[in-house]
C-alpha cells in the first residue's frame, strides 16, 4: 500500500495533496516540501485539563515580573520577564542574539535561580568559552547541547528551572514528526510543546529564531502567532550599536526600543542614546535636521541627513535608510507642489543617522527641512529641533508626546523648536523657545531666517 504524503508550504503552512511550483495560499514559488501526515487520533494535550469556568472564579496568583539584569531588555519586554511567557528573539546571523540571552541567563541565574540554556548549534564547551569571555559563569546556569525536543521537554520537567533559553527553534526536532528540522511541521510542533510547557509550569521560555535574507523570521508565520512576544535584534554588523525592538508583546507596549553597544566583553546598555546619536553631528552643514522622536515611552534625538544633487540620468534616483521610502517620495512631492522647490530633476538620498529606523509621522517635517536645506545649500538654524506631520496640502499636523520630546531636546542643549501651531500654548515649558507654524512654507522660512 502506497504511503500517503502531503506537500506543505514553508512560508504559510498551506497543505496540498500534490506538488505545485507556486503555493496557492501565499503565492510564493518553490516552497512546497513533501511531508508525511501525522497518524490520526494523535491529539496533543491541552494546556489545562479543566473545562470552562466563569472569569470571576478563576484563581489568580499575584506574580510579579522579575528583572533580567539588563535594563534595556526589561524595557522592551514591558518591565521584566512574565512567568509562563514564550518570547521569540530574531535577528541577522552574528548580530548578538546568543550573547544577549546568555548575559540575561547569567543575571537571572545569579539573582533568581536555576536557568537552563539549551543549544542546538553549539556544544556545551563552546558555550562555556563564550560565557567565560562575557564573565557569565555561575553554577545555577545549566548548559545542554540537544536537538531532540522530547529530551528537552523531559529535562525541563525534571529540573524545573526558573527560565529556559532555546537556541534555536530551527535546529530542534520532535521524533514523532517525520520532516526535517526547520520545516513547517517541526517548527509548529516544537513551538506548541514549548508553549504548553510554559503555560502549564509558569516557566518563561526564550526562543531564538533565524532570519531570512529579506529580514523576516524564517519558518511559518504561525510561529509568530503562537508566541507571546516577538523581539527583533537589529544593527549593522560593521557598527558597534545594536537595537532591540518589540514587534509583538502581549504583556506590554510593542513600540519600546532598547539600545546596546557591542564590545569585547559583550553587550553594554546605552543609558543616554540621544547623546550617542548626537556625538558626531557636524555643525552648520546643509542637509541636516534634528527630530525628537518618540519610541514607546523613550524620547530619542535623531539626526536626519539629506543629500540633493542634480541627476545625471533621465530618471532621478531616490534612496532612503532608516526612513520610509514612500513617505520621503510623498514629502518631496509636497515640497515641489506646495513650496515650489524644483526637485523633479534631482537625485535625493535621505538617511536616519545611527542605524535607527523611524516610522512615526513626527519625522515628516525633519525630512522636509533636511531635503530643502540640501537643495538650497543653506544650513538650518543652530540649536534647532523640528517635528510635525506633513499633510498633502502642506499643512503641519500635531503629534503626541510633546512634553517628553521637548524635555529631551532641552536636556541636550537645544534652545529652539519648530512644530505645529496648535501645540504652541499647551506644550511651551519655559525651557525651550517654541515656534508654532501652520504650513510647510512657514516652517522653511522660520528654520532658515536665523
- Residues of the binding site for ATP: 91-98
CA distance 362 to 128: 46
Q: Is the peptide bond before 238 cis (omega within 30 degrees of 0)?
A: no
Determine the number of helices (DSSP H) and then strands (DSSP E) in the chain.
11, 21
CB 188 within 8 A of CB 147: no
Cell 515641489 locates to 336
- Grid coordinates representing 158 are 525534571
Q: Residue 403: in which H helix or E strand, if any?
A: helix 402-411
CA distance 320 to 299: 22
DSSP structure class, residue 439:
B
CA distance 362 to 355: 18
Q: Residue 159: in which H helix or E strand, if any?
A: helix 149-159
Hey, is 124 helix, strand or coil?
A: helix
Q: What is the DSSP string of 86-112?
A: EEEEEE-TTSSHHHHHHHHHHHHHHHT
- Grid coordinates representing 363 are 519625522
Radius of gyration of the chain (CA): 26
Q: What is the DSSP string of 58-93?
A: -----PPPB--S-HHHHHHHTSSBPTT-EEEEEE-T
CB 447 within 8 A of CB 381: yes
CB 79 within 8 A of CB 65: yes
CA distance 269 to 72: 7
Q: Extract the annotated binding site.
A: 91-98
Amino acid at each position: 500500500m502506497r504511503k500517503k504524503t502531503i506537500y506543505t508550504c514553508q512560508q504559510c503552512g498551506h497543505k496540498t495533496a500534490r506538488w505545485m511550483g507556486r503555493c496557492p495560499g501565499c503565492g510564493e514559488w518553490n516552497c512546497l516540501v513533501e511531508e508525511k501526515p501525522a497518524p490520526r487520533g494523535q491529539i496533543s494535550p491541552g494546556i489545562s485539563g479543566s473545562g470552562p469556568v466563569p472569569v470571576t472564579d478563576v484563581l489568580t496568583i499575584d506574580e510579579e515580573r522579575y528583572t533580567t539584569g539588563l535594563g534595556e531588555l526589561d524595557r522592551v519586554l514591558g518591565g521584566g520577564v512574565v512567568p509562563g511567557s514564550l518570547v521569540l528573539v530574531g535577528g541577522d546571523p552574528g548580530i548578538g542574539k546568543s550573547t544577549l540571552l546568555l548575559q540575561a541567563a547569567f543575571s537571572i541565574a545569579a539573582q533568581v535561580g536555576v536557568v537552563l540554556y539549551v543549544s542546538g548549534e553549539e556544544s556545551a564547551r563552546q558555550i562555556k568559552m563564550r560565557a567565560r569571555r562575557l564573565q557569565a559563569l555561575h553554577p545555577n546556569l545549566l548548559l545542554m547541547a540537544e536537538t531532540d525536543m522530547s529530551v528537552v521537554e523531559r529535562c525541563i520537567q525534571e529540573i524545573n528551572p526558573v527560565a529556559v533559553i532555546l537556541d534555536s527553534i530551527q535546529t530542534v526536532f520532535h521524533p514523532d514528526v517525520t520532516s526535517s528540522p526547520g520545516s513547517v511541521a517541526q517548527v509548529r510542533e516544537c513551538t506548541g510543546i514549548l508553549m504548553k510547557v510554559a503555560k502549564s509550569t509558569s516557566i518563561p521560555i526564550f526562543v531564538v529564531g533565524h532570519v531570512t535574507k529579506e529580514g523576516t523570521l524564517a519558518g511559518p508565520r504561525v510561529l509568530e502567532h503562537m508566541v507571546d512576544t516577538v523581539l527583533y535584534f537589529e544593527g549593522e554588523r560593521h557598527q558597534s550599536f545594536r537595537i532591540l525592538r518589540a514587534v509583538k508583546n502581549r504583556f506590554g507596549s510593542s513600540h519600546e526600543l532598547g539600545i546596546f553597544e557591542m564590545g569585547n566583553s559583550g553587550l553594554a546598555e546605552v543609558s543616554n542614546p540621544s547623546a550617542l546619536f548626537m556625538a558626531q553631528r557636524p555643525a552648520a552643514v546643509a542637509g541636516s535636521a534634528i527630530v525628537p522622536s518618540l519610541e514607546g515611552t523613550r524620547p530619542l534625538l535623531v539626526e536626519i541627513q539629506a543629500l540633493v544633487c542634480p541627476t545625471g540620468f533621465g530618471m532621478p534616483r531616490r534612496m532612503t535608510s532608516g526612513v520610509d521610502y514612500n513617505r520621503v517620495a510623498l514629502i518631496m512631492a509636497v515640497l515641489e507642489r506646495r513650496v515650489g522647490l524644483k526637485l523633479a530633476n534631482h537625485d535625493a538620498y535621505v538617511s536616519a543617522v545611527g542605524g535607527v529606523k523611524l516610522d512615526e509621522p513626527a519625522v515628516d517635517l525633519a525630512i522636509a527641512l533636511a531635503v530643502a536645506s540640501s537643495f538650497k545649500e543653506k544650513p538650518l538654524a543652530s540649536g534647532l529641533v523640528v517635528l510635525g506631520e506633513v499633510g498633502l496640502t502642506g499643512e503641519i499636523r500635531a503629534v503626541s508626546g510633546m512634553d517628553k520630546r521637548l524635555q529631551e531636546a532641552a536636556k541636550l542643549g537645544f534652545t529652539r523648536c519648530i512644530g505645529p501651531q496648535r501645540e504652541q500654548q499647551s506644550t511651551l515649558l519655559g525651557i525651550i523657545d517654541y515656534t508654532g507654524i501652520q504650513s510647510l512654507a512657514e516652517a522653511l522660512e522660520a528654520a532658515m531666517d536665523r
